[in-house]
Every structure is written in C-alpha cells, then in structure tokens.
A and B are shown apart, each in its own frame.
Chain A
Amino acid sequence: MTEDTLPTRRQLFEMIGKAGGAIAMYQAMTVLGHAAETQFKGPPMLSGARKGASVLVLGAGLAGMVAAYELRKAGYKVQILEYQDRPGGRNYSVRGGDKIVEVGGATQTCQFAPGNYLNPGPWRIPHHHRTLLHYCKQFGVELEPFIQLNHNAFVHNSKAFGGKPQRYKELAVDFKGHVAELLGKSLNTGALDDKVTAEDKARLLEALREWGLLDKNMAYAASLRVSGQRGYDRAPGGGVGGAPTPSAINGLPDLLDSHVWTQMNFYFGYVMQTTMFQPKGGMDMIGKGFAKQVGDLITYNARVVKLAQNGKGVTATWEDTRTGATATASADWCVCTIPPPVLSQLELQAGDKLKAAIRAVPFSPQCKIGLEMKSRFWEENYSIYGGHSFTDQTIGLISYPNDKMHQDGPAVLLGAFANEANGLILAGMTPEQRIETALQQGAVFHPAEYRSEFLNGVAVSWPRMPWILGCTSRWTDENRAAHYQNLVALDGRIVLAGEHASYYGGWMEGSLLSGIDAITRIHQRALAA
C-alpha cells in the first residue's frame, strides 16, 4: 500500500469512532497503546433532557461549571449559586491589588507587579489529565510547559553536606553510581548467583557499568565520563583552555544523609512526570474560561444556608452576602459541589449515610507563599530556569517561575509549598511571620540575593481561607471503604461532585471527572423518572 491509501493512526481512530462511537474508539486506542492512562472518554454528550427539566448547581468551581456547561448543552435549565464574588473556587490566582482576608481577620493586599501572580491552589497539570486538557483546548485556555524536573536546581537537607544545598544532578548521579557499584560487587562475589542466571548476571553487570557510569574495575569514581552527567569542575570550553576537568564525586554516607532518592522517586510519580502544563497568565484562566461559557448562569455572593428536597425537586435557601437578604432557588435536581468542611455545617435534607460520608472527609492544610523579587537572579546567577529546589525545612521547597524566562523586571518565586505539620505551622503564623520564615529559610539556596532582591510577598494558608477551611480532601483506604460510595451516590435528588468525590483528590481532573459522572447519573435518572 502507498502512503495515501494507508490510513494514519488518527484516521483509523476517527473511522472507528464514527462507526462505533466514542467508547469503541477509546477501546481501540487502548488496544493500540494509547489513552490507557485516563478514565476520560470524551465529553459526556448528554442530550434529550425533558422539556423544562432543571438543575441547581451549588458552587462555581470546576466541578460545578463543567456540570452546568454540559447540562445546559443537554437541554436543562441550569442555575449556579456561588459563595464568592468570582468563578473558579480553588482554581485561583492572586495578583497585585487582590485582597486576602483570613479566618481570624488577618488581611493581605497583594503588591505584585502587573502580570505577576501566585497560584495558591492547583499549579501544575499532568499530561494525562485529559479531561482538563480537553476543556482548556475547547475554551481557548492557552497552556505552556510547567518545568517539573530541573537537574540544576538544589536539594537541601539540614543534616547533609553541612547544611549546604547541592545540585540535584550531582546527588542523583552519585547515588545511582554508588548503588550500581555495590550491586555490581554483590554480583561479582556471587552473592546473587541463586537469583540470576549466569547469562542475566553478565547482562546486568554490563547494564550497571553503563547506567552507573562505572569504570573498568566496576568502580564509581570521578572521571570526565561521570562529569558528563553530574557536571564538571571546569566545563568544556573553546580554544587554548578548552579542555574540561572532572568534578569530584560525593561519598555514599553523604548521599544517604541527603535523602536524594526522595526527589528521584518523586519525579517518577504518575502525577509528577514530565510533561506538565500551566495556563499562561495564571491558573485562574481555566476558571475564567469556564465562566465565559456559563457565567450567565452564576449568581455570585450567594451563601447557601439550607438545602431541602422532596419527591419532586430541591430547594436551596441562600443569603446574599452583601445585602443579607435571603432567597430560594428551586430545581428538579441538585449538583452540590460545596466542599465537605462547609457542607457538613449546612442544613441538609439528606440520608444519614450521605451525612456521615460528608463528615468523614477532612481537609489538608497546605500553605503557599509567593515572593516577588526584583530580578531573576536564579536564572542569571545560578542557571536555574523553572523547577524546584527542595528543603527539609518548613517551607518544603522553593519553585522558580516557568514563564517569561530571560526577561528583566520583577518575578515571583513560590517561596513555600508546605503540607501536614509544616502547613499547620505556617498557618498558625501571621502572614508577615510566614513571609519572614519563607525568606529566612529560602535564603539557604540563594544567600547573596534572597533578602536584597525581595520586594513583597503574599501567603495563602488554606485552613484560614474562610470559604473552604482547608485545601484538599483527605481519604484513607479505611474511610473510602466505609463512605466513598455513599458520598457519590445520588441521594434523592441531590448528588455531590468535586475533587472530594473522586480518586483524584486535590486535582482539577478529579473535579471534572466527578462533575461529569454526577450529571451523567442525574441525566439517566431524570430520563427514567
């Protein structure tokens, strides 16, 4: 066959799709080694809603907005009530002039220069989060690469190397080399002869020699070959003094102190692998993209105080947070995306199982801090372009901006991404104390510049955000077994949606998949009723 008669893979998928629908296409793609990484089967393609059928959506985050968007397309009359004065929920960016008021009253006004921002919630998108990528493309939300793995960023452990940060590439290459050498020794002493065949032993020794950069004696030692991965003492140059010199390697005990395998493993994580993305101009471009489609359905500043239902429909009682006036909104069905820490405090007419499930999902205390610096000193002085420098201190890491590289003018570093006890420690501080802590600890990476280049900062501690009281849902295997199916089940005419109603806790993909699943079930029930 010639090229013009043989269908391309894409054409083949399209033909299968036309003949057998989306599910057949998905199955065919899976067989051919594509798309197995997601449960997304394309947008839900609902249609044929009964005339006049209506759905009330509570919350204009991603789960609520995808539900509203697809339900309206299917023919439903949709209304969204949103507590805040903006769409997006945790899909949120903070820019100059934005005000953040915390539980307890602490107030910050962000002073970033125009164009700069902090993404306090979601900030990176895995390449396999196909639902989110689908809607971004459909709604014209421009994505750019998020630099995840940067070999030239730092790893700092206060108990390793006298507390001096080391470049990731040096630690990772040395760790790999030492492990390869030791395994090689073990093989050569015959310690593993009952585990591998003689043939595999020979092949494994060869693999270790190549992978670990071992010398002819199967030793990991400083050399130009090793420097070809971990970096040189004097880098290759031109002309008379062009010859490079090798760098010294670190010893195994120091590497064990550094815990560098944590980072090596982190980058292997399914949701952490390159390629990752971010929206150009701030994460909230996604929420704004959805709001362009469904903004006309949203009532802002609406605090739901009660959600009641009977055999015919649902009624939400809500208060206008600006005027204090109360009103009601009724519909045949309700998609409720109010996060559990708030939903559990609401007067909700639902079964005991659902109520117990809502109470069983606590939220985690992440904190993110944005530090605006006068210049991109990490680029100019350290050759660091995007990516993360990790630390065992409270701040967890600092992360470098992924956009506008090589430009002049102020830029915003992520000065902390803390969770668990570290997130709580930062939340318990005043915003000023958090920023001071971030400066003090982050200076370990860039001591000469961190203070002198600092302009201003903003700290978002999620347990103190009055509209949610936490960052993301936390499930245990035990709680999932007891409550998850009850949480996602249709309770009369109410169904919950959001990242908490997914196996992708804390990811926008989970919110969208949950929203799509919830409305698919409502639609089926509505047609059957």
Chain B
Amino acid sequence: MIRASKAAFISSAVAAFLAAAAGDAQDAPGSGPTSVAVSDEGRKIYEQICQACHLADAKGGGGAGAVIPALAGNRNLEDPKFMIEVLMKGRGGMPWFNDILTPSQMAAVINYVRTHFNQFKGTVGEADVAAFAAAAGKPDRAECVTCE
C-alpha cells in the first residue's frame, strides 16, 4: 500500500511535468535525468536540500529585508501540517518540494527538523504527507520541459 501510494504520487508528478510543458522555457543545463539520489534519511536530506538556504545550523541568515528564516527554535514548526504545506506548496521565495522529495522523504526531514533543531513531540509519516497531497488534489508543480 505504501509502495502503491508512492508510485501513484510519482507518476502523477511525472504526468504534471509532461502536461505543463507549454508555457515557460527557462535556461537549463539540459543534462537529462540526474543520477544523484536524495537520501531517505532525515539528517542527510536536511544536509542535501534544506541547508542550502536555512544553513547547516538551521539558524537561517541573510541581512535586513532579505531574511532566510531560522528552522531552529521556530514555533511555527510545532504544527507538522504547517511544514507539510510549506514543502508541498512553497512559501514566499521558497519553492515547493514535491518534485524533489517523495512523501516519505518529506516526512523524514520534517521529523528531523522538528526533533533535532527543536524539541517538538510527535512525528509524521508518509501517509500524512500523501493525505495532504490527495486533499490538495494535484501536484501540478513542474513547469517546463527544459527545466531538467
């Protein structure tokens, strides 16, 4: 069942990727599918993906007026649904991640950030993320054929 939901999620993401081909045509490397795999482990996902902006200590950064928010000690993250929503839909300058992370990977990194950089109780599972995706109805997130 878990496998089925993951497969369905990925295939619908691929369908969206193909369907949303028409409009934009950004500059892109053109390298084709990458062999670089994002980890399944929360800490490693944080290091590969999240610390790009939120930095290694999760304290965020940037100067006045151009701030990257801290994840460490961030009360918004007490509600895991908030994190699911941000990962699925993006927020401000931060893009959605449903074309980079699977529901299982999202759950893993949410749990890592909530417990390692914060002391929040409870964890989320792949099913919680998948349920949000199902409720949202569509991962219509990919944007163009040249953005490989």
Given contacts A262-B148, A427-B52, contact A345 B65 (CB under 8 A): yes
Given contacts A344-B92, A422-B34, A466-B62, contact A397 B138 (CB under 8 A): no
How long is the Cα–Cα vector from A394 to B31 in the complex, in angstroms? 10
Q: Per-position contact with B for A491-522: 1 when CB-CB < 8 Å, else 0?
A: 00000000000011111000000000000000
Most chain-B Cβ atoms within 10 A of its Cβ — which of A104, A123, A345, A472?
A104
Cβ < 8 Å to A, chain B residues 44-70 = 47-53, 55-56, 61-68
Is B147 an interface position by the 8 A CB rule?
Answer: yes
Contact across chains for B36 and A476 when beta carbons are under 8 A apart: no
Which stretch in B5-13, B76-84, B93-101, B117-125 binds the other chain?
Answer: B93-101
Given contacts A122-B27, A507-B27, contact A344 B32 (CB under 8 A): no
How long is the Cα–Cα vector from A419 to B33 in the complex, in angstroms? 12
Contact across chains for B30 and A272 when beta carbons are under 8 A apart: yes
Contact across chains for A428 and B92 when beta carbons are under 8 A apart: no
Is A363 an interface position by the 8 A CB rule?
Answer: yes
Given contacts A469-B68, A478-B138, contact A104 B29 (CB under 8 A): no
Q: Per-position contact with A for B112-148: 1 when CB-CB < 8 Å, else 0?
A: 0000000000000000000000000010111101111
Which residue in chain B gives the minimum CB-CB distance to A425?
A: B48
CB contacts (< 8 Å) of B141 on chain A: these are 476
Given contacts A266-B30, A341-B92, contact A158 B20 (CB under 8 A): no
How long is the Cα–Cα vector from A109 to B48 in the complex, in angstroms? 25
Contact across chains for A466 and B66 when beta carbons are under 8 A apart: yes
Most chain-A Cβ atoms within 10 A of its Cβ — which of B50, B55, B95, B140?
B95
Is A333 an interface position by the 8 A CB rule?
Answer: no
Is B28 an interface position by the 8 A CB rule?
Answer: yes
Contact across chains for A259 and B33 when beta carbons are under 8 A apart: yes
Is B38 an interface position by the 8 A CB rule?
Answer: yes
Which residue in chain B gives the minimum CB-CB distance to A420?
A: B100
Contact across chains for B64 and A303 when beta carbons are under 8 A apart: yes
Q: Per-position contact with B for A137-174: 1 when CB-CB < 8 Å, else 0?
A: 00000000000000000000111000000000000000
CB contacts (< 8 Å) of B38 on chain A: these are 421
CB contacts (< 8 Å) of A418 on chain B: these are 29
How long is the Cα–Cα vector from A470 to B36 in the complex, in angstroms? 21
Which stretch in A33-41, A50-58, A385-393 binds the other chain?
Answer: A385-393
**Smallest Cβ distance from B15 to chain A, in angstroms?**
13
Contact across chains for B49 and A428 when beta carbons are under 8 A apart: yes
CB contacts (< 8 Å) of B55 on chain A: these are 103-104
Q: Per-position contact with B for A4-30: 1 when CB-CB < 8 Å, else 0?
A: 000000000000000000000000000
Residue from A124, A423, A503 within 8 A of B27 (CB atoms): A124
Q: Per-position contact with B for A340-371: 1 when CB-CB < 8 Å, else 0?
A: 11101110000000000001001111000000
Is A477 an interface position by the 8 A CB rule?
Answer: yes
Contact across chains for A303 and B94 when beta carbons are under 8 A apart: no
Contact across chains for A421 and B62 when beta carbons are under 8 A apart: no
Cβ < 8 Å to B, chain A residues 312-334 = none
Contact across chains for B20 and A476 when beta carbons are under 8 A apart: yes
Some 23 contacts from A to B, beta carbons below 8 A apart, are A103-B55, A265-B145, A266-B32, A271-B27, A304-B65, A362-B93, A363-B93, A363-B95, A390-B30, A392-B33, A392-B36, A393-B34, A420-B99, A420-B100, A421-B34, A424-B48, A424-B100, A425-B49, A469-B68, A474-B95, A477-B20, A478-B138, A506-B26
Top 6 nearest A-B pairs (CB, nearest first) are: A341-B93, A262-B32, A266-B30, A427-B52, A396-B29, A362-B95
Q: Taking beta carbons and an 8 Å cutoff, which residues of A are in contact with B?
A: 103-105, 122-124, 157-159, 259, 262-263, 265-267, 269-272, 303-305, 340-342, 344-346, 359, 362-365, 388, 390-394, 396-397, 417-428, 461, 463-464, 466-470, 472, 474-478, 480, 503-507
Given A341-B66, A396-B31, list of 7 further CB < 8 A pairs? A157-B35, A267-B30, A344-B92, A419-B28, A427-B53, A469-B53, A472-B26
